[in-house]
Structure 1
Amino acid sequence: MVLVRFLPRNERFFDYFRQAAENSARVAQALCELLENYSDIEQKTRQIQDLERHGDEITHQIFKALYSTFVTPLDREDIANLANRLDDFVDAIEEATRRIRLYRIDQPTEHARRLARIIDQQATIIAETVPLLENKKQWNKLLQCSISINRLEGEADDTLDQALASQFDGVSDMNGLIKAIRWGEIYQHLEEAADRAEDLADSLEGLVAKNA
């Protein structure tokens, strides 16, 4: 066991995490662009799908490196957990945009735009904070990341409640009912993305607590 302490650690995991966090920010930005400037839906949702696949590739690289690396810079369990949390966040965003395309939504609602903006703020914080994993002296800032993301998740919960409360307002026919039900699904998927960001923040906080 003493020998392990003198073996070189594979630091490329930090680069993979940075790439995954930056990719999640691009996905969130693309979500905002889709809902704020609602045109070229097929092209914009395809871009998000491509970014999601790129995120999958990064996740695959992380696990491939994990299986082939003897000494890792973080506990293997923590590396796997962070990789999965980043992937889950992107997957939830992509699923929401997939529903928007499949349901042929004519125009986004303000509630949907608000949820997208919250997710974008979370992704920006993630992209700025995850690279700090490489420097333990910066780990106290990971706790601030967790606080900020959890606060934003609370805003997403409030927005979802408001959206669902008014979901069937003005519905007077079957087409309106179907549209309202579909929006309910989309709202849930958007809020799910905010939840997944919170899961990532909690994982970062747990990592700091375990290694304090």
Structure 2
Amino acid sequence: MSYLRKLIDITASTLLLIAAVSCSDNEYIAEVDDPSVQPGDRAATIEVPLRFHVEKPSLIGKPLVNDIPSRAEGDEETDDPEKAAEEAINDIWVFQYDENGNQLIAPRFYKVESSEIRKLNIRLAEGNDSHVYVLANTGDETWAQDKDFTTLEKFVSYEYPFTEDNVEMGKDERLLMEGHVESTIRKETDLHPIDIHLTRM
């Protein structure tokens, strides 16, 4: 009887040890039915408001006609359709890395439904000195899926391919924009929006 009891105790201890080791190997074990979890996430995500600021375009060289006011110099006409097109955000890809430059969450795609929106709720992981990058207006919800952006170094070294077809903006196209911010993400009931300044690529 004591031999059987000893065997049961050893088996139970072994199972507990296996469970403890498997938990410590993962920073976050995803719930299977949690729709907010994606393959590649290394941490649990929380909903965070992101607020966009589109920087003014910078003028490279000098204009062909000097008497045309430049939007880069502060022409703030609200009914200027070209200016509206230059600042429109149709969609964004969000990337997040920890303080060591390792990917915290899988890249996420968000469709921006309104051209007037300047704030959007996204999902980020909690962390100190977190690097959040946004790439706007790829127009492709599968764009990042076949690319290796598992480290910050790989992300910033990626060169977006430009061809003659995408140098000029078509009627239904939007300018590519990029922005990033280094911020500590904390789960709070009154979480302030993360401000991110987007620059045209």
> TM-score, structure 2 length as denominator?
0.24
In terms of fraction of residues, the more strand-rich structure is 2
> TM-score, structure 1 length as denominator?
0.23
In terms of fraction of residues, the more helix-rich structure is 1
Which protein is bigger by CA-based radius of gyration?
A: 2
